Structure 1
Amino acid sequence: MDKKQLYIEKTLHLFLQKGIKNVTMSEVTQALNVSSKTLYKMFDGKTGLVLTCIRLHKYQMSEMAQRIIDEKDENVLDAIISIHDAFLGEVVQIDPAYFNDIAFYYPEIWETESYFDFKYTKGLMMRGIKQGLFHKNLDVELAVDTIVLLIRAMIEHKDLQGKYKQNYEPLYNSMLLPYLKGLCTMHGLQKLREYHKAKLQAARKAEAI
């Protein structure tokens, strides 16, 4: 790993743990043991550093999604739910200020480098339609856009943040899951029940160990 990549990864870790506004360039240079001149020249200031870190994090999230898709193979519903479970599980570990700071202080980056471009979900849904899991007249673009809106609300909505404090399980069960059920055929609902039953059994088994 070259120095630049190492700097990006270490800085991203700081941003995820403390938010972006709360991490000064001075703190970054101390953590990286590098001069501010070198850092500014390498990334063209904090905005450039923030953009580079966001792109790395997005890439990491995409890689995580692709690994799940590869593991699940033809289990489309399993893949969709597992991806979003993994995504929300990742978000739980991030200081809420991180996303809020991007949206407030770097609005152009927030819009152009969206974390919620779930292209893989569109492909999975189209496969699910062919498998009879989702309604054949489903508007895939609209369905994915709605899922994105629900996830953004779970992450960004201040009232929800304050009330649930990043506990996404009740939010998922009351917001995202009912919508996903509405997209499913009877066959899809059966597969969804089987998935949640297996997940519950696995959780109970893990608790018993």
Structure 2
Amino acid sequence: MEKDIEFLEKVSELFLENGAKSLTMDDIARELKISKKTLYQMYKNKESLLEEVLAYNLEIVISKMRNLDETIENAVERMLARDKGMVRASETNNSLMLRQLIKYYPQIFNKHMLYFSEKLSEILIHNIERGRKQGLYREDFDAHLYSKLFFQLTMTYDNSPFLDTTNISRTQYHQESLNLYMNAITSEAGKEVMKKIKQNKS
């Protein structure tokens, strides 16, 4: 199992460095010092390998988010928590791999983004339920719909025709998206928690 994880991590790095389309099975076999025959015994084609790499990386992100959800009791604090792994995952969105994935493998990309949206939605809904019990979130909104709206908003940085990414960085966009979402769902008590967190950071 450890060997499988090490293999997927190395292949993930190769895809990130070279792009989903540019990287070939020949390149992978050469870089990992295995024969092409062995590689094709493991995966029938590059698409099946790419799918497993994406699934592996999504599970890491989802696991980190679930862990934060369980270890930080206050629902507002959990949403505003900064996690290095999540930041890194966000930054790799602006990679050659993602651009080529959208252009050349849209079905694979859409399949995995749909899966990610479902898992993220579950985590956000759990957070909303906890925040409502704590009196930090409003009761008068649809938790499922708002979780989807938040995902939609955060995923539009790369492909929105209305956003000039030369004037706003990815980090700033994601921070403002989170602020918009949090201001929309928090009660007055929740807004006070947000204010204290921002004061402590400054």
TM-score range (shorter-chain normalised) is 0.7 to 0.9
Structure 2, unpaired ranges of 5+: none
Q: Distance in 2 between matches of 1:109 and 1:146?
A: 22
Matched residue SS, 1:178: helix
Query: Which residue does 2:182 correspond to in 1?
Result: 180
Q: Distance in 2 between matches of 1:161 and 1:36?
A: 43
Query: Which residue does 1:103 correspond to in 2?
Result: 102
Q: Distance in 2 between matches of 1:10 and 1:180?
A: 37
Q: Distance in 1 between matches of 2:145 and 2:173?
A: 21
Instruction: Specify which structure has the higher proportion of helix.
Output: 1
Q: Distance in 1 between matches of 2:20 and 2:141?
A: 39
Check conservation: 1:154, 1:168, Cα contact below 8 A: yes
* Deviation of the 1:31 alpha carbon: 1.2
Check conservation: 1:68, 1:83, Cα contact below 8 A: no
* Deviation of the 1:83 alpha carbon: 6.4
* Deviation of the 1:155 alpha carbon: 4.2
Q: Distance in 1 between matches of 2:152 and 2:25?
A: 33
Q: TM-score, normalised by structure 1?
A: 0.83
**Cα deviation 1:35-76 (Å, max 9, x = unaligned):** 11111120111001000100110111012112222331x111
Check conservation: 1:16, 1:95, Cα contact below 8 A: no
Query: Which residue does 2:50 correspond to in 1?
Result: 50
Query: Which residue does 2:39 correspond to in 1?
Result: 39
Code of the aligned partner of 1:189: K
**Cα deviation 1:103-146 (Å, max 9, x = unaligned):** 33222222222233312111101111221111112200111011
> 144-153 or 109-118: which moved more?
109-118
Superposed counterparts of 1:25-174, under 5 Å? 25-72=25-72, 74-82=73-81, 87-93=86-92, 95-114=94-113, 115-117=116-118, 118=120, 119-157=122-160, 160=163, 162-163=165-166, 167-174=169-176
Indicate the RMSD between aligned Cα atoms, in angstroms. 2.4
Check conservation: 2:157, 2:165, Cα contact below 8 A: no
Question: Aligned residues, how many?
Answer: 198
Code of the aligned partner of 2:196: E
Q: Distance in 2 between matches of 1:91 and 1:111?
A: 17
Q: 1:82 to 1:99 in 2, by over 3 A?
A: farther
Q: 1:56 to 1:164 in 2, by over 3 A?
A: farther
* Deviation of the 1:189 alpha carbon: 0.6
Residue identity over aligned pairs, in percent, reads 20
Code of the aligned partner of 2:190: G
Code of the aligned partner of 1:148: F
Q: TM-score, normalised by structure 2?
A: 0.85
* Deviation of the 1:92 alpha carbon: 1.2
* Deviation of the 1:164 alpha carbon: 5.1
Matched residue SS, 2:166: helix
* Deviation of the 1:187 alpha carbon: 0.7
